[in-house]
Copies of this chain bind each other. A is one copy, B any other.
Amino acid sequence: MINKIVQTMADAMADIKDGSTVLVSGFGSVGQPNVLIDGLIEQGAKDLTIAANNAGSGHVGLARLMELGRVRRIICSFPRSSDPVVFETLYRAGKIELEIVPQGTLAERIRAAGAGVPAFFTATGVGTKMAVGKEHREINGRTYILEDALFGDLGLVEAWEADRWGNLTYKLAGRNFNPIVAMASKLTVVQTQHIRELGDIHPDHIVTPGIFVDRVLHVPYGDPGGF
């Protein structure tokens, strides 16, 4: 019997290696796998590359992971947040590398990794600092730049519902990066609000099929808080 549901955080975070690239979903605190981020802090892996839309806030979650010196590099579209003090301090001190990526390019690069597309052309960023050093090409009269796929060794996902095959649904804006992070990561770990019996989620309503999911941890924390 396939059972991707794990019972402990230790099992959820087993075998995560130093030097991993970690794709972290979430937009603000909605659909952000906060409990798994805490689990990663606890687990101890270091020299990490984190790809996420934001670069953490306050002294918790991703910010805490950075504050502990565990993040070598962050790839994000918007390092500013309501309280980006940790990131900004590290960045000014030259203690963390930053790769700024337009949000749509970030999403498309992650999706490409999941879909077997190692590189693709896009119009976003042409004529800007983002295009410096990138291959340019005119296609049908418009200029595009080449962007490469962004793979995760580990992907952290928050779902609304999950079953033992790892099929997932999301709630409203909680979907955001989650489905593509699951596609693009070698090891996809999910925290889910609800566990469902196999077959209880309608086959037309499953958003992430279990093929993209490795481990599921039941974390019924309720609604997201502030941002």
Min distance, Cβ A199 to any Cβ of chain B, angstroms? 15
Q: Report A88 CB to chain B, min CB distance, Å.
A: 32
B203-A205 in contact (CB<8A): no
User: What residues of chain B lie closer than 8 Å to A36, measured between beta carbons?
Assistant: none
Q: Once the chains bind, are B204 and A171 in contact (CB under 8 Å)?
A: yes
**Chain B residues whose CB sits within 8 angstroms of the CB of A140 once the complex forms:** 118
**The stretch of A10-18, A74-82, A119-127 that contacts the partner chain:** A119-127
Contacts A116-B122, A118-B140, A118-B142; A204 near B204 (Cβ below 8 A): no
Chain A, 146-195, CB within 8 A of any chain B CB: 148, 169-172, 175
Q: With a CB–CB cut-off of 8 A, which chain B residues contact A175? A: 204
Considering the chains assembled together, what is the distance between the CA atoms of A137 and B172 in angstroms?
A: 40
Contact with B along A184-227 (1 / 0, CB 8 A): 00000000000000000001110100000000000000000000
* Cβ-closest 5 pairs across A and B: A120-B120, A118-B139, A117-B120, A119-B121, A118-B121
Please name 20 further chain A to chain B contacts, defined as beta carbons within 8 Å, in addition to the given A108-B115, A108-B117, A204-B205, sorted by A numbering: A112-B120, A116-B122, A116-B123, A116-B124, A117-B121, A117-B122, A118-B121, A118-B123, A118-B139, A118-B140, A118-B142, A118-B144, A119-B137, A119-B139, A120-B121, A139-B148, A170-B204, A171-B204, A172-B203, A204-B207
